[in-house]
Structures are given as structure tokens and as C-alpha cells.
Amino acid sequence: MDDTQKGPRRMLRIEQVLELVPVGRTTLMRMIERKEFPSGHFISPNKRVWYEDEIELWQGSLPAESRRKKAARRAKAGQMK
């Protein structure tokens, strides 16, 4: 996060996070359990939010090409030999 930023950090509800991250709610919860996605912050016993800047950092940390695509490309290259 930029230290010069003024004002409060933007908090996102799960519905807003799911608009940014193209997975379903169950998949998102599994990613959180596996520490593959920011866990968010509870602001009350039953209300979790995510800071928008943490989601942006996570997005920036993703590889340019998915592992699944790389594996498929390697398998296809192996079949051509």
C-alpha cells in the first residue's frame, strides 16, 4: 500500500470480492483455508471484510500463465514428438 495514501482503506464484502475474483464462494473459501487467498478481517463476530489493496496485491502476485495451461501445453508438446 502507498504510504502517502490519505483516508481509510476500502473494505469489500464477500459479494464484492467475488465480483473481482472469478471463482465461486465455495472455491474462495477453500483458497482461504489453503492460504492461497487473503483471509480477510472480521469486523464483528459474523462479518468478514477484505481490504481492496490486499486483493490487488494478491492479483499482482499471480503468475502470468496458470499451472494448468502450462501442463496442458507440455502434454501437447510431448504428444507431438
Can you tell me the distance from the alpha carbon of 71 to that of 81, in angstroms, rounded to the nearest whole number?
16
Query: Average pLDDT of the chain?
Result: 88
Domains of the chain with bracketed CATH? 11-79 (1.10.1660)
Residue 45 backbone phi and psi in degrees, to 5: -55, -30
Can you tell me the distance from the alpha carbon of 60 to that of 54, in angstroms, rounded to the nearest whole number?
10
pLDDT in tens, 48-73: 999 999 999 999 998 877 667 777 77
pTM of the full structure: 0.70
